[in-house]
Amino acid sequence: MTGPLPLLSAEPSPTRRATLVRRVRLLVAATIAYNVIEAAVALTAGTLADSTALVGFGLDSVIEVSSAAAVAWQFTAADHERRERTALRIVAGSFFALAAYVTVESVRALVGGDRAEHSTVGLVLAVLSLLVMPLLSAVQRRAGRKLGSASAVADSRQTLLCTYLSAVLLVGLAVNSLFGWWWADPAAALVIAAVAVREGRDAWRGHTCCTPVISDSGPTSDGCCAPGSPR
């Protein structure tokens, strides 16, 4: 029987690394552009419909912009690895801020029994985000893993969380419009807040997926490095 496999890491060539950096920059720019539009539409529609869910979704888009901007700032430096930890902390802070806001607004809506009006614009926006966000998240996650950038992967998870919020928003608005179940949206949003806390904790600690590795215990199930592994 052979001994344990040595720790291996896929290191891209300089040319490949430069290509991946450009790809991450483009994806971050696309994420920022989309979320700026999404925030404007959601905040406007939420104010008109008196919808806490829509306003919260719009503010989530603002937080997503700050997270993507942190990664964009990191990759403006030639030696972007030096800014990795700071960018990760900003991404983590975005997760915590989102969790805090969603929790406060959800509890307030449940206690106060706030009822939002029907919003066609909100429903369309939620469906559109469900289509766009998973694609952006998957592509950025793949590029971040190949590049070995924990902050890029953490930001892709922030984008994926926005997908979950889109689903919550869609269900909440639809159920409220169809059945008058006003409590469905804030209750589901509390689950999203719990997920945001977990993701923020992992980003703060640097426990995000990076380049695929093989260790004594073998590769992790999704091909990401195990917590505590060298980056």
Per-residue pLDDT of the chain (231 residues; tens, 9 = 90+): 444 434 334 566 777 777 877 887 888 888 889 989 999 999 999 889 888 788 888 888 887 787 778 777 777 766 666 777 787 788 788 889 888 988 888 888 888 776 777 889 999 999 999 999 898 888 888 888 887 777 778 778 777 878 888 888 888 888 888 888 888 778 878 887 888 888 788 778 865 544 343 333 333 434 444 333 333
Output the average pLDDT for the chain: 76
* Vertex 59 angle, CA 56 and 61, to 5°: 115
Taking the C-alpha atoms of residue 56 and residue 46, their distance in angstroms, rounded to an integer, is 8
Helix or strand or coil: residue 231? coil
Question: What is the pTM (predicted TM-score) of this model?
Answer: 0.66
Taking the C-alpha atoms of residue 208 and residue 163, their distance in angstroms, rounded to an integer, is 19
Domains and CATH numbers, the chain: 14-208 (1.20.1510.10)
Alpha helices in the chain, H assignment, sequence order: 14-49, 52-74, 84-112, 120-147, 150-179, 184-205
